[in-house]
Amino acid sequence: MNKNKIRVVWLCHFSNSEVHSRLDLHHGWLLGLLKRMTHRKVSTDVPEFAIWVTNAIKEFERFEEVELHIVSPYPNLNRNFQEYTLNGIYYHFFKNEDDDALKQIYRRVLKPRFWKYRENRKRIAYFINKIQPDVVHLIGAENPDYSLGLLDVSHDIVTIAQLQTLLIDPDVKNNNPHFPMYQYRTEVEKRVIEHADYIGTTVSKFRTIIRDCVKSDVAFLNTSLALSESVVKDKSEKKFDFVYFAAGLSKAADLALEAFGIVYKQKQDVTLDVIGGCNPSFMQQLESIVEKHDMAGAVHFEGRLPTHDDVLRQIRKSRYALLPLRSDLVSGTIREAMSNGIPVLTTDTGKLGTQTLNATSQCALISEIGDHQALADNMMRLLNDDELSEMLRQNAYKMRSTVRSNEDISRHYVEAYKACLNYYNNRIPIPEELIKL
């Protein structure tokens, strides 16, 4: 460890193929039995997720000023702790207590109001005490299995809570009335935001909600997630008309299928590719929609693909991206589709959300959330108008080419760390460009 560098812990969760191949994984017999009883696949495979963490790590491998430590839970670890160093980054993984079958049964039966994740917090505290960081940067305040660990960080360490979303945003509850464990997770989110020294977000709507509902004197940093995608202009051979993709299909795959069903009644040769995973009960719901519209031969479920690159290769096989949203302002999937030359159909998440896609030129077709007919009408417009499709594709290329690179976003992290430490140690004010939008 280098004493001349800023020592930073990222408290996060993520997976990629490189990490997965280096870890010793195994699920216990009781967890395997529990999964079989609930008709869930028994496997130690973990698909890639939280690509913004992987993107930022790749940039920090080249930065000299920061000694970066990743502290993260990982599913199905065979030991409580697994650590290694790669390309100058220190990785510290711990066994997630969510893998404990007895605790899963306890929570399912008794439904405690607030689960404290005591074991996870002990493991996080162990690593932080061992690393002795200058800064702890939490990425994702809404995930209690690791975000609660921020509450135990000493006040002599600068803490930043980087928002991935904001569950206390009323639109999340309004558009997701059956959001699992909503009250519990919003309580966790509020506690974490209250505890953090700084909140990282560039979303003005989130800042207003936090000031009004959590902490009026909150200090913000205009840091964002490393979600930039390389613009890909080569045209792949098309196998499907539409694609819906998400890490979890429960986000809005049902909305996509309902709209697709309306189009299918008018055009029997149309096809939809669905990429992503979900629990068995939600898959039954999706299958019932397919059955209702009698379109089994037109919808193909890919399941979760192993890597992010696999997903990108698969989406390029479709002509259009059918990506309705319920609560995300602008999803990463929309950005990915645009960067890969796939015209986007989505839903209206407000002037700070998907409306921004068409702020300077039309880059997407947008309809109201839950208006399946309007979404279907936009789908038919694309199917019947190649000029419209090409215009959306070219406008999206232009917009994506102006987006900040992952290197710039990650470099902004470094400047934020320096500024926060300067304020903590010397009371030097944080530059306005790191605070104001």
Q: Which domain holds residue 295?
A: 240-401
Q: Does 412 lie in the same domain as 388?
A: no
Collapsed DSSP state (helix, strand, coil) of residue 33 = helix
Q: Does 330 lie in the same domain as 216?
A: no
Q: Does 71 lie in the same domain as 12?
A: yes
Which pLDDT belongs to residue 115?
Answer: 82
Q: Does 107 lie in the same domain as 255?
A: no
Backbone angles phi, psi at 82, to 5 degrees: -140, 130
Give yes or no for a contact between 300 and 272, defined as CB atoms under 8 angstroms apart: yes
Q: Does 286 lie in the same domain as 146?
A: no
Which pLDDT belongs to residue 196?
Answer: 97
254: phi > 0 → left, psi -120 to 50 → alpha, else beta; which?
Answer: alpha
Q: Does 274 lie in the same domain as 219?
A: no
Q: Which two tokens stand for residue 61?
A: 């491998």
Gap between the terminal Cα atoms of the chain: 35
Rounded distance between C-alpha atoms, residue 148 and residue 105, angstroms: 21
pTM for the full predicted model: 0.85
Q: Does 44 lie in the same domain as 190?
A: yes
CB atoms within 10 A of CB 272: 27
Q: Does 128 lie in the same domain as 142?
A: yes
Does residue 336 lie within any of the structural domains?
A: yes
Which pLDDT belongs to residue 331?
Answer: 87
Rounded distance between C-alpha atoms, residue 10 and residue 69, angstroms: 6
Partners of 366 in the β-ladder? 346
Does residue 173 lie within any of the structural domains?
A: yes
Does residue 232 lie within any of the structural domains?
A: no
CA torsion sign for 150, 209, 140, 108 is positive
Does residue 42 lie within any of the structural domains?
A: yes
Q: Does 426 lie in the same domain as 352?
A: no
Total count of domains within the chain? 2
The full length of the chain comes to 437
CATH number for the domain spanning 40: value is: 3.40.50.2000
Q: Does 342 lie in the same domain as 419?
A: no
**Residue keyed to tokens 């299918």:** 264
Give yes or no for a contact between 336 and 312, defined as CB atoms under 8 angstroms apart: yes
Q: Does 262 lie in the same domain as 116?
A: no
Which pLDDT belongs to residue 436?
Answer: 82
Which pLDDT belongs to residue 29?
Answer: 52
Which pLDDT belongs to residue 412?
Answer: 96
Does residue 375 lie within any of the structural domains?
A: yes
Q: Does 68 lie in the same domain as 137?
A: yes
Which pLDDT belongs to residue 175?
Answer: 79
Does residue 210 lie within any of the structural domains?
A: yes
Regions of the chain short of the pLDDT cut 50: 42
Does residue 233 lie within any of the structural domains?
A: no
Does residue 60 lie within any of the structural domains?
A: yes
**Which amino acid, residue 393?**
R
Backbone angles phi, psi at 23, to 5 degrees: -105, 145
Which pLDDT belongs to residue 108?
Answer: 63
**SS3 sequence, 128-145?**
HHHHCCCEEEEECCCCHH
Q: Which two tokens stand for residue 328?
A: 């995300």
Rounded distance between C-alpha atoms, residue 406 and residue 56, angstroms: 7
303: phi > 0 → left, psi -120 to 50 → alpha, else beta; which?
Answer: left
Which pLDDT belongs to residue 182?
Answer: 86
Q: Burial, 132: exposed, middle or buried (Cβ in 10 Å; 0-12, 13-18, 19+)?
A: exposed
Collapsed DSSP state (helix, strand, coil) of residue 301 = strand
